[in-house]
Amino acid sequence: MVLEQFLREEMQEQMNVKVGKSLFQRILNSFSHATKINSAVTDVEGKYIFTSQQGDCEFCQLVKSSSAGLARCRRSYAQGGVHAIKWKEPYFFKCHAGLISWVCPISHRGKHIGNLVCGQVRMWQPTELHYSWINDFAEKNELDAELLMDSFNEVRLMSTIDIQAAADLALIITSYMDLSGADIFDFHRKLRKVGSWIWGENKKKKDVDNRIDLFDSEQDMSILGSRIFAETRNCNIEEAKKLLEQLVMQMFIQSKGRLELIKGRSLEFLSLFTRMSTKYGVKFGEVIRLSDLKLKEIDDADTVDKVVLWLLSVGNTFIDVIAKKK
């Protein structure tokens, strides 16, 4: 199965992901409000997943407005994470732009999955050498050198004691993330995988318009649904899940990648799977409980990729329920 290993998680776990993300966002906001320092969660490549409401300082925003500057920042975060996981404690470093940052590693089930990045601050007054670097950087990246210089002077100046105290708090936060499972990273990984799959499969097929014209949504969905459940009842779980992927891809194509259309089709999909589950021996109360859970989830999906992940997760859940009944 192309996606099975990424989609075994039930929808209740996805609800926990949302609760977890909301809680982590609140913690980041509280940390930044108390310390007046920006904090962000990145993946191991240094790319932001989410950040505190405070956001980057003006100087960092200017630096990251350059593609070269952004790439260097991400490398700094990624390299800091490598050192932090090695020593299992906050890793302090001077970034390529001359500011002080620190990274606390985030682990999940013994694997390094991301970083909590805090900063960026100054510990000393800028020197002539640093002003020279700012001028050179501004010239190479077509930025306003004077604005860059002024924004650097506005970066918060902190003492060693204050920085160490903030780093200790950051380490407590990452320890909490580790204990709570940090399932948000799994969710983003799955989302990226699903996104690559749906757009990759769609790109392979040159006759999209023709296939849309030929696609009788209700008839094809019903036929595929019946085949999915028949294969499940015959213990051909792998074949059932291949058919599920085919069904979801047809729904994506029929919706032409438009969010509201595919969300509407998703409700029909849920209705079909609810009826089929009852037909194949799942108790009505259990079906209703599963359906209510899924309905709560689809309302929150704000991208096509999330809807597709929802569809695959729902389908896998019902297939697993039918298989257990068998």
pLDDT tens sequence across 124-167: 887 787 788 888 888 888 888 889 999 998 999 999 899 989 99
Sign, Cα dihedral of 47, 71, 99, 141: negative
Contacts of residue 224, defined as CB under 8 A and 6 or more positions apart, other chains included, come to: 243, 246, 247, 250
In the predicted structure, residue 179 carries a pLDDT above the cut 60:
no
Residues facing residue 272 across a β-bridge:
none
| Residue 263 near residue 304 (C-beta atoms within 8 A) | no
- Model pLDDT for residues 8-35, shown as the tens digit of each residue: 443 334 434 444 567 778 888 999 999 9
Tokens of 91: 């890793």
- Model pLDDT for residues 257-314, shown as the tens digit of each residue: 788 888 888 888 888 888 877 877 777 777 667 666 666 667 777 788 888 888 888 8
Tokens of 37: 């320092």
Domains belonging to the chain, first-starting first, are 4-182 (3.30.450), 205-325 (no CATH)
Q: Which amino acid is at 175?
A: S
H/E element, 61: helix 58-64
Burial (CB < 10 A; 0-12, 13-18, 19+), residue 37, is buried
Contacts of residue 228, defined as CB under 8 A and 6 or more positions apart, other chains included, come to: 240, 243, 244, 247, 276, 315, 319
H/E element, 121: strand 111-121
Q: What predicted TM-score, i.e. pTM, was given to this entire model?
A: 0.52
Number of H helices, E strands in the chain: 13, 5
